[in-house]
Amino acid sequence: MSNLTPGEPAKAQSGGWGETIRVIVEALLIAVVIRTLLFQPFSIPSGSLIPTLLIGDYLFVSKYSYGYSRHSFPFSAAPFSGRVWAGEPQRGDIAVFKLPKDNETDYIKRVIGLPGDRVQMIDGRLRINGQPVQKVADGTVDDRDAFGRIARVPRFRETLPNGVSYHVIEREGDRGYFDNTVEYVVPPGHYFMMGDNRDNSTDSRDLQSVGYVPFENFVGKAQVIFFSMEEGTPAWQVWRWPTDVRWSRLLQKVR
């Protein structure tokens, strides 16, 4: 039953433009809070983590896993240094971090060396603190060779000292540029990061380009693939989704 009295004009139930703007602002603030404190989406533009992550994967990174630094905020704008509510990265985590060289570019790699660790590659075999990491041949996968051509490359299962196990590939066998290195000693408060595509990854083995990553530069831990498109297909081309979405990768946990 209406509460209007005879002759009383009906009032609009909507708040008009003011109400619309308020809702938009609130939605934006909620999105900023979620992106800053909880989860941030990232896309994979390179093949350095093949076969774990593919070009065209879209994933959520948990910002709270390692606590918060100035790099947890948009444009690294927070006015403080160090980390608050810190949770230390674990060996084997796949993490997003700001490239130490410019503190701006987002990189994503696997945590291999912890502070104080000695890390070395000898004939394509990873060694941590003088001990070879278990590495077992496990078939082949498709990847691109040095000339960009599709080729079958060897795949291996690597198991770190803490039991974390994952696949790596060796495009150039044991003859890659970083398959034999000096022994790296990870400084306090830093981490040694590597890609799973061992012969096609610019990572901590390259001290000039990446090097050791300060804990402060960590953005978050990769958690789940929420979308994935074939390489070269933009996500906005929805008419190509039926054939180009990698349906089997959706909601796949990142390990």
- Write down the catalytic residue from 65, 109, 201, 221: 109
Alpha-carbon gap, residue 228 to 53, rounded angstroms = 10
Give the whole-angstrom CA distance, residue 61 versus residue 38.
Answer: 8
Indicate which residue of 48, 65, 69, 72 is catalytic. Answer: 48
**CA–CA dist 48, 144 (Å, integer):** 11
What's the Cα-to-Cα distance from 90 to each of 58, 105, 111, 177, 193, rounded to whole Å? Answer: 22, 22, 7, 27, 11
The residue among 41, 25, 3, 91 whose CA lies nearest residue 235 is: 41
- Rounded to an integer, what distance in angstroms lies between the CA atom of residue 96 and that of residue 84? 17
Q: Is 48 a catalytic residue?
A: yes
- Give the Cα separation of 80 and 70 in Å (integer): 6
Backbone angles phi, psi at 84, to 5 degrees: -120, 150
Residues with a known catalytic role: 48, 109
